[in-house]
Amino acid sequence: MSDPPPLRYKTNPYKTTEDHDYTSPLSASGSNFPCKGYQKDLGTPGGLSVRTYSPGGTYKLVLAGSATHAGGSCQLSLSYDGGKSWEVFKSYIGGCVKPDPGSDQTFSFTIPGGARGGEALFAWTWFNNLGNREMYMNCAVVTISGGGSGGTGGISDGASDSPLVYDNQGIGKRAEVAEHSIQKRDWGGPSLFIANIGNGCTVPAGKDVLFPNPGSDVTYGGNEANRAKPEGNCGSGNYGGGSGVYGGAVERRVEGGVVGAVAAVVVLLVGACI
């Protein structure tokens, strides 16, 4: 992900340490989930907010790089508790990244109108179509201006917030923390899909994964026949997305057009991958 510039990325103006291998996936063991472990920079000079987004606002996201691994599926999510829990607000099923390395890797997203104000971790996750079974995750610190009924507040451990039911697909110590984390939920997005990091859930090779709970803001790309559900202990859900996942107006987007509210755009980086 290049914009918003993620933690420790070369274009992050606040970085104090630079990751020179930023295009690498998460560890297969899940030891550096989430955010490659860089969420620990929160509260330090290297963890300052790099972008401000408004609830309901539209923004641009672009992916850069040549190793597209025949595309795949991506999600965007927010965490207000330092990465212990995540709420998805955008899913791209197929065509993320765009398979042609020469394509304009421009995508769109909208910050939910009910998003809570304050600092948050903004995550981009990607499950590639071809290649090793991996999970990519980059995280940036952003500010959500104003916000929903939860009011304004920064990233915290959620100790004063109401309980969040976390769809626990994490592993080890991280799973234990996530299971007991609490977070105020204003728009009520689904939990982040997690796979390929030793948690018992995997994405089939050569397929664009269908997220169990993609949320109501979904863009479909690629070939419909090339989509498949994940395998293993991945949880159940509404693979079709829409209001069955969480409340609010249903907004569905398909490649070549938009149905519902106007979308926003964000840009991510996909570089050479091993």
Report the pLDDT value the prediction gives residue 62, as an integer from 0 to 100: 78
| Phi, psi (degrees; rounded to nearest 5) at 254 | -130, 160
> Distances from the Cα of 170 to the Cαs of 26, 85, 179, 194, 200, in angstroms?
13, 10, 9, 7, 9
Mean pLDDT of 44-50: 98
User: Which CATH number does 35-259 carry?
Assistant: 2.70.50.70
Residue 148 per-residue DSSP state: S
For residue 241, pLDDT beyond 50: yes
Q: Which helix (H) or strand (E) holds 175?
A: helix 172-180
The encoded tokens of residue 204 equal 């089939």
Report the pLDDT value the prediction gives residue 236, as an integer from 0 to 100: 77
Kindly report, residue by residue over 186-205, the tens digit of the pLDDT.
Answer: 578 999 999 999 999 999 99
Kindly report, residue by residue over 60-74, the tens digit of the pLDDT.
Answer: 887 777 766 678 999
For residue 145, pLDDT beyond 80: yes
The model's confidence at residue 80, banded by pLDDT at 50, 70 and 90, is: very high
> Distances from the Cα of 89 to the Cαs of 55, 99, 117, in angstroms?
11, 23, 15
Mean pLDDT over the full length of the chain: 78
Cα-based torsion angle of the residue sequence 135, 81, 214, 11 in order, rounded to the nearest 10 degrees:
-50
> Distances from the Cα of 246 to the Cαs of 40, 93, 239, in angstroms?
30, 18, 13
The model's confidence at residue 106, banded by pLDDT at 50, 70 and 90, is: confident
> Distances from the Cα of 35 to the Cαs of 77, 157, 160, 174, 186, in angstroms?
12, 16, 24, 12, 23
Rg (Cα) of the chain, in Å, rounded? Answer: 17
For residue 90, pLDDT beyond 80: yes
Q: Which helix (H) or strand (E) holds 174?
A: helix 172-180
For residue 269, pLDDT beyond 50: no
Q: Taking the domains of the chain in order of start, what are their residue ranges?
A: 35-259
